[in-house]
Amino acid sequence: MTHGRTPYRAASLVLAASVLLGGCGAAAAGAGTSASIDASATAATPARTLKPVPTEKPLGPHVVAQWRLTNPSFIAFGFGSVWVTDHHNNKITRIDPVSNKVAAVIEGTGSHPEDALEVGSLLWVTGQSDDMVLIDPATNTVTRTIKGDHLFMDYGFKSVWITTRDNHLERFDPTTAEITASIPVGEGEDDCMNDVVATATAVWVISCDTGELIKVDPATNTVVARITFGTLIDQGKAHVGVPAGKGTDSIWIPMQGDEGGGASSGLLRVDPVTSAGSAWLPLKSGLAGDGFNAVTDEAVWLAGSEKYSRVDVATNKISATYPTESGRLKIGISFGSVWLRNYEQELIQRLDVQP
C-alpha cells in the first residue's frame, strides 16, 4: 500500500494510498481545545547550518534535532510550523522549525487522524469518528468539529477534497466547511484508505483495494476514468527515456507489490495530462516500506524499511540511501530539511541530508 505527499499540498501532484495505522483500535474523541507547551524536544541548531550542537544523548547520523512524541501518525507543514498528529490521544503537536522547539500541544483533535492541511487561515485535521477539526493557528485552538469518517485530503479547484472510509470523495467549500458534493469511488468500506490529490486538470483518487487510479472531473463531480495499476506500469515500462519536467509535474505512486490483489514492487510515475504511466523504477524489497513518499522538483524521497532513499527525477534512479531505526516511516520535505517520522520508535527527526 502506498501514500505520498509533496511539501505543499495545494500544489501537490503526488498520489498514493496507505493502510497506515488502520489496524489500531478506535479512540474516543477529545473534548478539550486548549494549547500547552511541551519540553520533550531534543533541540539543536536549525538544519540550514548543518552543525548540530552537543546534546545529552548523541543524535543519529544526519539528525539535527529530534522529538519523542506519542503515536505520531502524520507530519504536515503550514503557518511556518511543523505539525505532528497523535493517532490515539486526540492532540496535535506544533514544532517551531526556527528554534527546533515544541511550540504547542493542541488538545481536542479527532480519532485516528491521518492527515492535516493548511487551508486559508485554518489547519484542517481529519478524524475517523465524526471529529474532523479546524484549528486556528493564531490561537492554537480548535474552532470547529465536522462529522464524518475522514482520511486524506488535498486542495484544488477552490475546494477541499477528502476521502472517506465508505469509499466516497467529499468536496468541501473551504469558506463554509460544508460538503458541496459526495462522489462514490468504490463499493463497501475502504480497507486501504484511499488517498487524493488535485492536479491542474482533475482530482485523482488511488484505490489500493482495487489497484486503480481514479480520475474525477471537478466540473461535473463524476468519475471519468479508472486506470489499473497494471496498465500504468506497462505504460511506464514501455516509455522511452526519462520524462522531462519537474518532479512536482507528475503523480508518483510507490508500490509494495500487494495493491489491488497483486502488483509489482516499484515507483510509478504518471503524467496527469495524458493519464498514462511515464516511467517505472523497480524497487528491491524494503525500499518502498509502507509506501510513504515526498516529492520536490528534483527528487522523490521514499520512506522504506529501516532506510530512506532519494530518487533523482532527472535519471529516475536512486541517488542515495540512508539507514535509520526500524519502524513504520513517514517522510516529508520542508524548511530546507528532510523530516522523518517513526511510529514504533515514537520519534520525529529533522535531517541534514540535501532535500
Is pLDDT above 90 for 295?
yes
39: left (phi over 0), alpha (psi -120 to 50) or beta: alpha
Query: What's the pLDDT band for 43 if we cut at 50, 70, 90?
Result: very low
Query: What's the pLDDT band for 41 if we cut at 50, 70, 90?
Result: very low
Is pLDDT above 80 for 267?
yes
Looking at residue 261, its pLDDT comes to 52
For residues 337 and 83, give the distance between their C-alpha atoms in angstroms, rounded to a whole number: 15
Residues 99 and 135 in one domain: yes
Is pLDDT above 60 for 11?
no
Cell triple for 241: 527515456
Residues 156 and 287 in one domain: yes
Residues 346 and 206 in one domain: no
Looking at residue 238, its pLDDT comes to 96
Residues 172 and 213 in one domain: yes
For residues 332 and 303, give the distance between their C-alpha atoms in angstroms, rounded to a whole number: 9
Average pLDDT over residues 66-93: 95
Looking at residue 86, its pLDDT comes to 95
Residues 124 and 248 in one domain: no
Residues 216 and 302 in one domain: yes
Looking at residue 28, its pLDDT comes to 28
Looking at residue 189, its pLDDT comes to 86
Q: Which domain holds residue 56?
A: 23-148+324-355
CATH of the domain at 177: 2.130.10.10
Is pLDDT above 90 for 243?
yes
Residues 300 and 159 in one domain: yes
For residues 99 and 82, give the distance between their C-alpha atoms in angstroms, rounded to a whole number: 12
| Domain count across the chain | 2
145: left (phi over 0), alpha (psi -120 to 50) or beta: beta
Looking at residue 288, its pLDDT comes to 82
Residues 189 and 251 in one domain: yes
40: left (phi over 0), alpha (psi -120 to 50) or beta: alpha
Looking at residue 286, its pLDDT comes to 81
Is pLDDT above 70 for 45?
no
pTM metric for this prediction: 0.84
Residues 158 and 294 in one domain: yes
Give residue-wise pLDDT tens across range 200-233.
Answer: 999 999 998 899 999 999 999 999 999 999 999 9
The residues facing 217 across adjacent strands are 222
Average pLDDT, the chain: 84
| ∠ CA 323-328-330, rounded to 5° | 80
Residues 161 and 229 in one domain: yes
Residues 175 and 210 in one domain: yes
Looking at residue 190, its pLDDT comes to 79
Identity of the highest mean pLDDT range in 113-127, 182-196, 245-259: 113-127
Average pLDDT over residues 175-193: 93
Determine the 3-state secondary structure of 210 from DSSP. coil
Residues 170 and 290 in one domain: yes
CB 237 within 8 Å of CB 280: yes
Is pLDDT above 90 for 250?
yes
